[in-house]
Chains A and B, each alone.
Chain A
Amino acid sequence: MKVVHVIAFGLLFLGVVVSGVQVSYYSQRVRDLHGQLQAVQMHQDAQLAEHSRLLLERSVETSYQNIERIAQADLAMVFPEHVEHLEP
């Protein structure tokens, strides 16, 4: 066997080992990233749910009905029947 053959065989062997290690490294990494993605997506869902809940809550609080009710019932305000415009 010539020296050239030995070197070529050695390089091939090394290539196989290195690519093998890389394959396992990257599959592990994909798994990790996927885990992260899953966690982030769940977080996103929870945030979206919270956001929509708060939006709905705000819209109930600021609704015309609610403000009118508070104005009339709690603050004893009345709707003015006469309008006057005062120039400053």
Chain B
Amino acid sequence: MRRWRHFTVVGCFVLACLAIVGRVGYLNFTQRDFLQQQGDARSIRSETVPAYRGLVFDRYGEPLAVSTPVVAVWMDPSRNSLGEADVRHLAALLDLDADRLQAELAASAHREFLYLRRRVSLELAGSVRALGLNGVYFQNEYRRYYPAGETTAHVVGMTGVDDAGLEGVELSFDEVLRGQSGRKVVLKDRRGDTVKDLEFVSAPRFGSDLRLSLDLRLQFLAYRELKAAVAGHRAASGSLVMLDVATGEILALVNQPSYNPNDFTPGDTAGMRNRAVTDIYEPGSTVKPFTVLAALESGDFAADSAIDTSPGYFSVGSKLVQDPADRGVLTLEQTLQKSSQVGIAKVALALQDRAVFDVLVRAGMGSYMGTGLPGEAVAAINDAGLGDPVVRTTLAYGYGLALSPLQLAHAYLTLASGGLRRPLSLLRQEMPPDSTRVFPAALAREVIAMMETVTADTGTAPKARVPGYRVAGKTGTARKVGSDGYDDERHVALFAGLAPVSAPRLVVVVVINEPQGQLRGGGEVAAPVFARVVARSMRLLGVKPDGPGDAA
């Protein structure tokens, strides 16, 4: 009697054991990976260790974008065990509203992650940590500061909360700047606290620093003068580009309106546009020096060739080309100096069909400049219709093609460098880049000499004169295209120039878009900005004076 009870119990135990062993064996064979994963998923976490983003400097090492370590403080609301006093403490430290925090924690009780505050300084995070609150966690991150703020906003750009580049250099050189975040595997307990670091999979690699070609001093000067001019003329926008003639480096590139990358309000798209690079305008008369160059190249014209512009207008096909007044017989130089439409049109018609177009293309128009800035616009210029005299004349005085201010500056660089075309660069160059000769040096110099007369009292831009230095340039006042053809009320005022004439160092292009005041022309609106910026820049760069000390 007793024996069978004993064996029954033992038998049941053995069966139960066998069943368990069998089940374990079965699971081990069939679902091992899945179960292992699930187990790890509940305790092992892989965490990224953020990498320090490289800094951006100007050409002399002034910081333009700096990262600093900060901390994101977060909570798991589903395991909130904080008392009311704790929440008040926390809210006071993090500068949050205690009642709202309490409500927010209650409202997101079903969630497991809630940022309390991001980008908290290390000191503040230390004080929060010292409270020793359960369920409050810290995550290292970096915040980006832009010391020059809106002055360099368009070039440097900015990063988003996740430290990735969104605009400007931050975007186009993101690969270089961002480094590589590291990863580590940690073991967590039930409450989510890290118990142990299991493994460092990879250490974070710092991003590389970037040295731009910008000169922050010149950039600031340019920004201040442009801002004052845009505000003074109640213009819609404006841009200024300054290039180093010897290296093709961009020394200053500013736009109005701008934005503050340190305190960015989303939706400010007008302020964010890097107009000097992305917006294209018809360059108007600023193209005329290239027409003159084409004329000189043809051999049929010299600086003193006479061109009869009376009676101040003439028709090309169905189009009437006119000057504001009858200027009589002008030399080629005077045609440029006074910016005579009739004179330039007559010159253009005397040249071969493709002559002006070829010069413009050799000056770099229509080719990609490769500065690396996001949204770089390529000039809109094409050779369709060059057989038509109307197309040829309009091209000669700057209509029917469209350029960004940067592209116009690039074209002027070929004149300033004595006929050499160089690539532009936004990064500091250790040595001058390879150049291609596109115009004979003597002709480029001759055109510059003619452009110098533009700043004489009888020229269109005496206000571009800089005391102590000889400057050359060309004004432009282009009508904008409205819904039905050219709009007589909306203009773009341009001035493109170089200084000093004896040995050009700088090319500066100023574009003021839709000035609203009494003065609308390039000589009145854009030239003074050129003069003020160049005057200060020459002193800052220590350029030897080469001209008389009087201003306009």
Contacts and interface: CB of A to CB of B under 8 A. Distances in A.
A82 interface: yes
Interface in B192-247: 197, 200, 216-217, 220-221
A79 to B, nearest CB: 8
A83 B536 CA distance: 11
B151 to A, nearest CB: 9
A83 B145 CA distance: 38
Contacts of B328: none
A82 B467 contact: yes
Contact of B551 (A37, A53, A81): A81
Sort chain A's interface into a size bin: 20 to 34
A88 B16 CA distance: 108
B367 to A, nearest CB: 34
B510 to A, nearest CB: 19
A2 interface: no
A16 interface: no
Nearest to A35: B197
A55 B147 CA distance: 9
Contacts of B68: 48-49, 52-53
A45 B549 contact: no
A58 to B, nearest CB: 8
A37 B199 CA distance: 12
B498 to A, nearest CB: 18
A53 B69 CA distance: 10
Contacts of A62: 62
Contacts of B220: 63-65
Sort chain B's interface into a size bin: 20 to 34
Q: Which of B121, B147, B544 has the most CB of A within 10 A?
A: B147
Contacts of B197: 34
B513 to A, nearest CB: 26
Contacts of A71: none
Interface string A61-87: 011110000000000000101111100
Given A34-B197, A45-B140, A83-B467, A52 B217 contact: no
A43 to B, nearest CB: 11
Interface in B339-377: none
B468 A83 contact: yes
A4 B62 CA distance: 77
A59 B62 contact: yes
Given A46-B122, A49-B122, A56 B63 contact: yes
B63 A59 contact: yes
Closest 8 CB pairs of A and B: A83-B468, A52-B68, A59-B147, A45-B69, A82-B549, A64-B220, A83-B545, A52-B66
Interface of A: 34, 37, 45-46, 48-49, 52-53, 55-56, 59-60, 62-65, 79, 81-85
22 contacts: A34-B197, A45-B122, A48-B68, A49-B68, A52-B66, A52-B68, A55-B63, A55-B66, A55-B147, A56-B147, A59-B148, A60-B147, A63-B148, A63-B216, A82-B467, A82-B468, A83-B469, A83-B545, A83-B549, A84-B545, A84-B549, A85-B545
